[in-house]
């Protein structure tokens, strides 16, 4: 029997939340919105399609023809606005399986990606994309199986709903938990379930506790969490490595340096996501993490 491919890499192409924030003050951590790539056992998984998806697409032009599976947490603009600029989707011969949960208003991920590309919002409709696009509606709690890779999901606490994902392969797990707000008096059972014993937990820590509870500009109810809550989740769920993610657009590099230092002081094996960061889940120890520059329906499968 052939040996299974042990590869499990996580690459960050967009780490910002709400709106892209390019410029001199964010150059070290990056200004692109959410997009995370996972290379698992020869499969390419892409989580969210913020502006970072454009950068990922440019990097993939040398690898065509290609196939990938795309998983959307929800369809707020900072998570889909890179999709119309994802060049490989316009190239015939490429194939993308696109997953997302049905929104509370009943719209599918196909409808929402289509709608953002209609006039007067965008000049080129989704139907111009030449790649083979397969749209798959996932149920909350459903497990998607791609070969030996399991992708679980759970509902998060976010206005308009969002889902988090848990990717497992050969005993290694990465949890992608963004756009979720913690509860005031308890930990979110869904978040703990997604993060349980994860090798890497990528967590929405848009704010600090001070910002979240600021009486002059409270962020309560905005659908995001803090790095302090991220630490609580990581400890409760037995997470090995915590990655702070979905940075507020107003947080410059110096601010993120302080968040990194404060987080590490209370959870040693933690880091702040930045564009170009690559995590190797097969590395031993995981301190070997490095930074590198760098239309069909589901049932038709």
Give the model confidence (pLDDT) of 58-79 as tens digits.
Answer: 999 999 999 999 999 999 999 9
Distance CA 290, CA 44 (A): 19
Distance CA 38, CA 161 (A): 23
Backbone angles phi, psi at 180, to 5 degrees: -145, 145
Is the pLDDT at 3 greater than 80, yes or no? no
pLDDT above 90 covers a percentage of the chain that reads 91
Choice among 203-212, 260-269, 289-298 with the minimum mean pLDDT: 289-298
Consecutive H or E run containing 233: helix 227-237
- Confidence class for position 283, pLDDT limits 50, 70, 90: confident
- Confidence class for position 294, pLDDT limits 50, 70, 90: very low
pLDDT at 43: 96
pLDDT at 293: 42
For residue 72, cis peptide bond before it (omega within 30 degrees of 0):
no
- Give the Cβ contact number of residue 1 at 10 Å: 3
Give the model confidence (pLDDT) of 232-271 as tens digits.
Answer: 999 999 999 999 999 999 999 999 999 999 999 999 999 9
Give the model confidence (pLDDT) of 132-165 as tens digits.
Answer: 999 999 999 999 999 999 999 999 999 999 999 9
- Confidence class for position 2, pLDDT limits 50, 70, 90: very low
Is the pLDDT at 296 greater than 70, yes or no? no
Q: In what order do the strands lie in the sheet with 172-177?
A: 144-146, 149-156, 162-169, 172-177, 200-204, 241-245, 270-272
Distance CA 150, CA 152 (A): 6
Distance CA 65, CA 58 (A): 13
- Around 274, how many Cα atoms within 13 Å sit in the side-chain half-sphere? 20
- Confidence class for position 289, pLDDT limits 50, 70, 90: low
- Confidence class for position 284, pLDDT limits 50, 70, 90: low
C-alpha dist (Å) from residue 128 to 60, 114, 132, 136: 19, 11, 11, 19
- Confidence class for position 290, pLDDT limits 50, 70, 90: low
Domains along the sequence of the chain with CATH: 8-295 (3.60.15.10)
What is the average pLDDT across 264-288?
Answer: 87
pLDDT at 298: 52
Give the three-state DSSP class for 140.
coil
C-alpha 38: how far from its chain's center? 10
């Amino acid at each position: 029997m052939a040996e299974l491919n042990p590869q499990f890499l996580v690459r960050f192409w967009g780490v910002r939340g709400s709106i892209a924030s390019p410029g001199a003050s964010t150059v070290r951590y990056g200004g692109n919105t959410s997009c995370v790539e996972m290379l698992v056992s020869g499969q390419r998984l892409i989580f969210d399609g913020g502006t970072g998806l454009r950068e990922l697409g440019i990097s993939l032009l040398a690898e065509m023809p290609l196939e990938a599976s795309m998983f959307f947490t929800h369809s707020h603009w900072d998570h889909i606005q890179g999709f119309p600029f994802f060049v490989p989707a316009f190239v015939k011969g490429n194939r993308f399986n696109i997953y997302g949960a049905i929104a509370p208003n009943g719209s599918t991920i196909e409808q929402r990606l289509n709608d953002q590309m209609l006039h007067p919002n965008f000049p080129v409709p989704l139907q111009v994309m030449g790649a083979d696009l397969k749209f798959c509606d996932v149920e909350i709690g459903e497990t998607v199986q791609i070969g030996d890779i399991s992708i679980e999901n759970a509902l998060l606490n976010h206005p308009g709903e969002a889902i988090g994902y848990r990717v497992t392969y050969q005993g290694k797990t990465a949890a992608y938990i963004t756009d979720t707000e913690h509860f005031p008096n308890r930990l979110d059972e869904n978040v703990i379930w997604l993060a349980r014993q994860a090798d890497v937990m990528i967590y929405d820590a848009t704010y600090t506790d001070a910002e979240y509870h600021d009486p002059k500009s409270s962020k309560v109810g905005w659908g995001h969490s803090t790095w302090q809550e991220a630490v609580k989740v990581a400890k409760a769920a037995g997470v090995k490595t915590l990655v702070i993610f979905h940075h507020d657009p107003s947080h410059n590099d110096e601010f993120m340096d302080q968040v990194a230092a404060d987080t590490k002081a209370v959870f040693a094996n933690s880091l702040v996501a930045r564009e170009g960061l690559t995590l190797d889940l097969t590395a031993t120890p995981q301190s070997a993490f490095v930074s590198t520059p760098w239309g069909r329906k589901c049932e038709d499968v």
